[in-house]
A = this chain, B = another copy of it.
Amino acid sequence: MRICRFTSGDDPRFGLVDGAGEKIAEITGDPLYTRIELTGETFEVADVRLLAPVIPRSKVVAIGRNYADHAKEMGSELPAEPMMFFIPNTSVCGPGDPVVIPTFAHEISYEAELAVVIGRMCKDVRPEDARSVIFGYTVANDVTARDLQRGDGQWARAKGMDTFTPLGPWIETDLDVSDLRVTSSVDGEPRQDGTTADMVFGVAEIVAHASAAFTLLPGDVLLTGTPAGVGPITPGQRCEVAVEGIGSLSNIFVSADDAANGEG
């Protein structure tokens, strides 16, 4: 199933998206917490605004340096264990939303990633049980301010500022994630082209490692790292990130000044 969160002008609704990504069959509530039941109403994807398919109640746990080729391009060693950092729910935005670059951040990069959506409260999950706590998968752009990442030491600002974590376009619940293309492009020019098969730590290991430290709640999101090919993006440019079998997520980048002036 593909589950989206959307608005047609009023409160957010949830729906099932067809295989072509064109039609939405509305469901009665958030499928993370309620049984899936159709309301009977249908929409065209083109007629609604897709929202981030999930707003984490607690946290995004992101993994750094999880593709060898990306760790190499950053001049970093491969970690011996998954390297985790937090992103708050206030950083999440949705498909088409502008990524707003604050005036004090100057070196912005995109990072295409497979995102894992947790389906139930869990702790100390064994890798072989990971699938049972996963609700589904979506696409993330783990937008990063490289200058703040270098200067701050801890990555809270570099990775966790408002709008720096676009998620979408929907959650795919049935997916073999062992070998999926992960790509990005800027203004239509290809930038990243990796595969989840090259992850240093796979999804099951990441779920196990994160849940050994933190209770995971329904709606928590795990970001699984980005392949090589990251690079600068500047205000006015558009970045599209995609994961094979899920879909793509496109966001324009704007400066905070332009956003304040309504030009975003």
Distance (whole angstroms) from the CB of A160 to the closest CB of chain B = 6
Distance (whole angstroms) from the CB of A27 to the closest CB of chain B = 25
Binds B, one of A109-117, A212-220, A230-238, A241-249: A212-220
Asked if A102 contacts B156 (CB within 8 A), the reply is no
Which chain B residues lie closer than 8 Å to A86 at the CB level? 59, 85-88, 156, 160
Binds B, one of A6-14, A44-52, A147-155: A147-155
Asked if A154 contacts B102 (CB within 8 A), the reply is no
Asked if B88 contacts A123 (CB within 8 A), the reply is no
- Cβ < 8 Å to B, chain A residues 136-166: 152-157, 160-162
Q: A64-B154, A90-B217, A91-B214 are in contact. List 17 more A-B contacts (CB 8 A).
A: A59-B88, A59-B90, A61-B156, A64-B153, A84-B152, A84-B157, A85-B86, A86-B156, A86-B160, A88-B214, A104-B212, A154-B154, A156-B213, A160-B213, A160-B214, A161-B213, A161-B214
> What is the chain B residue whose CB lies nearest that of A157?
B213
A58 at the interface (CB under 8 A from B): yes
User: How many angstroms from the CA of A156 to the CA of B84 in the assembled complex?
Assistant: 6
Which chain B residues lie closer than 8 Å to A216 at the CB level? 90
A83 at the interface (CB under 8 A from B): yes
Which chain B residues lie closer than 8 Å to A255 at the CB level? none
Q: Count copies of this chain in the complex.
A: 2
User: How many angstroms from the CA of A17 to the CA of B18 in the assembled complex?
Assistant: 55
Instruction: Identify the interface centre among A81, A87, A157: most chain B CB within 10 Å of its CB.
Output: A157
- Contact status of A102 and B212, CB under 8 A, knowing A59-B90, A154-B84: yes
- Contact status of A102 and B213, CB under 8 A, knowing A58-B88, A58-B90, A162-B123: yes
> What is the chain B residue whose CB lies nearest that of A217?
B90
User: How many angstroms from the CA of A152 to the CA of B212 in the assembled complex?
Assistant: 15
**What does the 1/0 interface line of A27-56 toward B look like (CB < 8 Å)?**
000000000000000000000000000000
Across chains A and B, which 6 residue pairs bring their CB atoms closest together, nearest first? Answer: A59-B88, A86-B86, A85-B154, A84-B156, A157-B213, A90-B215
